[in-house]
Amino acid sequence: MLTELQKRRTFGIISHPDAGKTTLTEKLLLFGGAIQIAGAVKSNKIKKSATSDFMEIERQRGISVATSVMAFDYRDLKINILDTPGHEDFAEDTYRTLTAVDSAIVVIDVAKGVETQTEKLVNVCRMRNTPIIVFINKLDREGKDAFDLLDEVEKKLNIRVTPLSWPIGMGQRFKGVYSLYEKKLVLFRPHGKQEEEDLIEITDITGDSLDKNVGKADADTLREELEIVQTVYPEFNREQYLSGEVSPVFFGSAVNNFGVRELLDCFVEIAPEPLPRSAEERIVNPEEEQFSGFVFKIHANMDPNHRDRIAFLRICSGKFQRNTNYLHVRQGRKMKFSNPTSFMAAKKTVIDEAYPGDVIGLYDSGNFKIGDSLTEGEALHFKGIPSFSPELFRFVNNTDPLKSKQLAKGLEQLMDEGVAQLFTRELDGRRIIGTVGNLQFDVIQYRLQHEYGASVSYEPLFIHKACWITSSDETAMKELINRRRKDIARDKHGQLVFLAESAWALKIAQENHPKVDFHFTSEF
């Protein structure tokens, strides 16, 4: 068990859209031998799209809209990567994914620096003290000065950094990086292949070898900059990295496959093994014998031909075994799984066992909700899996009455993924979708049509907030429902919801009905 634990590294890759996150994931998979050829993420000329963007709409838009899970072996270790959507409309999926990882790699574009979405996501990591490695990408283009960038990272992300590699020039003048971690000079060749001969071991940077390889002027600049780096930034300390106090920084160009191997080699040495997880009842340690895990994501139709729904389960302790009875804590019943799978994006392989740190897929016919726990019998409720109150609302109209069944099924399954919420108005039975971002409406419409054969149109609806309502006083509840009938709906679990059209309307409702509780998340 301990040997298996020491082999596991589970991390998420996070960034602002377009910083090169999916490209970096691809190149890591390339080094791990998990794929033979990297798909150009943006180029439509090349029909091979990125391995991790397997949904049709992702290929068309060139962005990631769902978290992908990929596993590969590297240097006798088992690495699990969770590639998350960078687009802010899908941040909800990313926040949940961060509950399932032990560390994170943050990708920053050298020209744009730290962007808003990066700040939000790093905050989530900081709340949980998740160890972070920073990868500054796209050095083959002109961008900000390395020292300015590090200052920006420290100020905006509120983390202390320590560079473990340092760039020599950038853009047209980019010669390569010097790895402070391995004491090696890595020369940049824009052919996109990192050959062994491009690695030159230079332990003494004062010698002639550096001048010969990068030219006297660049060698002198590098020596000066490295002196500043060693004076200004703390020496790398693994304990401080693991406690989230300091973040190592690497420089490279993912699209040219440059600097990625250095990042991966250092990552596998310093990144944490599976960490303990907090449940409401107690702290769950990975080395415990009893199996436990939680569902952090549900994906409908990974294979549109089979209409399958898959629940992604992060294993927290013990050993998961195929065809074994486990307790579904929320439903209080035993379940067993005959074909649990591990992932390589959309490619799935059936597994017989899995260990803490692994993320497995369980075929699900509608039993799981996000946040559910599976155990060997103990009632555990894992903490920190966020649910949200939607901010944008639209009526859904069925434009093909003959496909009502398909629409109902499609809406039910897509809502279970947690990207949006469905409300049915009590007054007239009209269906309303609530989301966090506009892009989700397009994704839902697209997937309903292409995966379920149902077509819908939307109608704008101005609502300020959806609040779940409860009360121990039945009369008070009835009074609110009768007085505000047009604002009352039910969510997909039948819970009553108050749809407030403005902040003022919400305040008035709360004042007029003091015995009714208004909740802003559905977990209360």
User: Are 196 and 223 found together in one domain?
Assistant: yes
Q: How confident is the model at residue 522 (pLDDT cuts 50, 70, 90)?
A: low
Neighbours of 519 (CB within 10 A): 15
- 51 and 109 both lie in a single domain: yes
190 — pLDDT class (breaks 50, 70, 90): low
> pTM for this structure?
0.74
What whole-number distance in Å separates Cα of residue 498 and Cα of residue 490?
Answer: 8
429-440 pLDDT per residue, tens: 999 998 877 777
Question: Could you give the CA distance from residue 65 to residue 80 in angstroms, rounded to a whole number?
Answer: 19
Provide, rounded to the nearest whole percent, the portion of the chain with pLDDT above 90: 29
Task: Give me the torsion for CA of 183, 184, 190, 192, rounded to 10°.
Answer: -90
Domain residue limits at 316: 277-375
- Cβ neighbours for 245, distance < 8 A, ≥ 6 positions apart: 160
Output the CA torsion 212→214→220→221 (10° steps): 180
Half-sphere exposure of 255 (CA within 13 A, CB side): 14
Q: Give the pLDDT of residue 334.
A: 92
The CATH code of the domain that includes 348 is 3.40.50.300
Same domain, 95 and 153: yes
65 against 99, higher pLDDT: 99
- The pair of three-digit structure tokens given for residue 323, joined into one six-digit string: 């065809």
Q: Are residues 125 and 178 in the same domain?
A: yes
Domain termination site, one of 270, 304, 319: 270
Decide if 308 is inside a domain.
Answer: yes
pLDDT value of residue 312: 86
Domain C-terminal end among 342, 375, 408: 375
Between 143 and 199, whose confidence is greater? 143
Evaluate if residue 60 carries a pLDDT over 80: no
- Decide if 137 is inside a domain: yes
Cα Rg of the chain (Å, integer): 25
Residues 28 and 153 in one domain: yes
User: Is residue 512 in some structural domain?
Assistant: yes
- Which CATH number characterizes residue 398's domain? 3.30.70.3280
Residue 307 and residue 237 share a domain: no
Lookup result for tokens 């369980």: 362
What amino acid is encoded at 82 in this protein? Answer: L
Cβ–Cβ under 8 Å, residues 238 and 3? no
Burial of 5 (0-12, 13-18, 19+ CB in 10 A): middle
Assign 514 a pLDDT band (cuts: 50, 70, 90). very high
| pLDDT tens-digit readout, 229-284 | 988 998 999 999 998 889 999 999 888 888 888 888 889 899 999 989 888 889 99
Kindly report, residue by residue over 30-50, the tens digit of the pLDDT.
776 655 444 433 333 333 444
For 68-85, what is the mean pLDDT?
A: 79
Residues 12 and 144 both lie in one domain: yes
Q: Tell me how many domains the chain contains.
A: 3
In a domain, 385, yes or no: no
pLDDT in tens, 342-394: 865 446 678 888 899 888 888 887 788 888 899 998 888 887 665 566 778 99
Q: Which of 358, 390, 413 is nearest to 468 (CA)?
A: 390
Q: Are residues 175 and 102 in the same domain?
A: yes
The rounded distance, in Å, linking the Cα atoms of 283 and 292 is 12
Whether 285 and 277 have beta carbons less than 8 Å apart is answered as no
In this predicted model, which residue has the larger pLDDT, 3 or 389? 3
Domain-embedded: residue 43: yes
Same domain, 31 and 170: yes
Residue 69 forms part of a structural domain? no
Q: CA angle at residue 490 from 485 to 493, to 5 degrees?
A: 160
Q: How many residues comprise the chain?
A: 524
Residue reference for tokens 């902040």: 503
| Range in 20-24, 300-304, 307-311, 490-494 the model is least confident about | 300-304
Residue 187 is given by DSSP the state E
My answer on whether 332 and 443 are in the same domain is no
Contact 289, 318 (CB under 8 A): yes
Q: Which of 113-127, 312-326, 394-408 is least confident?
A: 113-127
DSSP-assigned states of every residue in 266-289: HHHHHS--PPPEEBSS-EEPTT-S
Clarify whether residues 29 and 172 are in a common domain: yes
Say if 282 falls within a structural domain. Answer: yes
pLDDT, position 49: 43
Average confidence score pLDDT of the chain: 81
18: in domain: yes
Percent of residues, the chain, with pLDDT higher than 70: 82
**126-181 pLDDT, tens digit each:** 877 889 999 999 988 898 999 999 999 999 988 899 999 998 888 888 888 888 88
- What does the pLDDT look like over 424-466, one tens digit per residue? 999 899 999 988 777 778 888 888 888 888 999 999 998 988 8
The amino acid occupying position 26 is E
Q: Which of 326, 341, 375 is the endpoint of a domain?
A: 375
How far apart CA 160 and CA 157 sit, in angstroms, is 9
Sorted by sequence, the CB contacts under 8 Å of residue 401 that are 6+ apart come out as none
Residues 429, 330 within the same domain: no
What pLDDT shows up at residue 385?
63
